[in-house]
Amino acid sequence: MCELPVIRALAKPLYRRRFRAHRRGNAYFGAYSSFAEAMHDIPQGKPADYNTQAAADLYNHRLQHVEASDYPALFWLKHFLDDGARRIFDLGGHVGLSYYAFARLVEYPRDLRWQVHDVPLVMQKGRQLADERGVASALEFVERDQASGCDVLMAKGVLQYLDYELAGFLVGLDALPQRLLINLTPMHPQQTCFTLQNIGVAVCPYRISGEPQFIADLEALGYRLMERWEHHDRAIRIPFEPQASIDRYHGYCFVLAGEQASGVPRAARIDQGQPAQGGDIP
């Protein structure tokens, strides 16, 4: 009833106040055409990104826990490790959550290099934790350009928070990653849109990517889609914005095919897909 035209005009401002005061779990508000538009509408007084100490401590309980949604990516990662992959670039990997959790089920090669990029305060916490656990030689925290030429680029639950598209980021690297593992990503069946997500410790712009263009942009770079899966236990319902709401999340495995990771004329790759240029992680 609150979404009926007359009632909506009264109910939406009330919900916005409730959204601002949200403290536990995830809440969503609004539908926007760009990251910048969503950023401009963040309520005053709330952190607008994950670069806080509270965010660095947010997922400590997942260090020893493999979630059900992790298993498709874990399957492909083990396959790639068995096939000789030795450098994993974990984009938005927090304090190394996947490195620690997956170690319970996968025997890592001794020469594995697992590189994580995240916001500064989270990486600071990750380095401290790696030192404490004696894994600093294998688990590194690096700048994002270190993804160049990696064996596997993994992006779990992070693409929705970035102010740039994945294809645009890849185009800027000196050498393309050989394989892409993408998991827990909200996808819209038609077009890209943005909302605001309140995670309790911050309110962040939140990208819901248009799946057709997302896949087309990666294929234009020379990637071949190996597998696609869906997470029906994850959904986004945005009050008053049913056109932007989705009923599942997605995961993908891509491999570079038909060309080498480096040495390919970049202009030719861009012209095929016109992926957006990137910015900095929020």
Distances (CA, A) of 240 to 68, 196, 209: 31, 13, 19
The sign of the CA dihedral 51, 56, 62, 66 is positive
DSSP string, 173-202: SSS--SEEEEEEEEEESS--EEEEEE-SS-
The two tokens of residue 6 are 């007359």
- At residue 25, the pLDDT reads 81
Domains and CATH numbers, the chain: 24-273 (3.40.50.150)
E strand or H helix at 12? helix 5-20
Q: How far is residue 265 CA from its own chain's centroid?
A: 27
- At residue 8, the pLDDT reads 67
E strand or H helix at 10? helix 5-20
Q: Can you give the pTM of this predicted structure?
A: 0.86
* Residue from 138, 137, 128, 127 nearest 102 by CA: 138
- At residue 134, the pLDDT reads 96
pLDDT along the chain (282 residues), means of 10: 62 86 88 96 85 74 86 97 98 96 95 97 94 96 97 97 97 98 98 94 94 98 98 95 96 82 38 33 31
Q: pLDDT, tens digit, for every residue of 193-237?
A: 999 999 888 899 999 999 999 999 999 999 999 999 999 999 999
Residue type present at position 64: Q
- At residue 273, the pLDDT reads 34
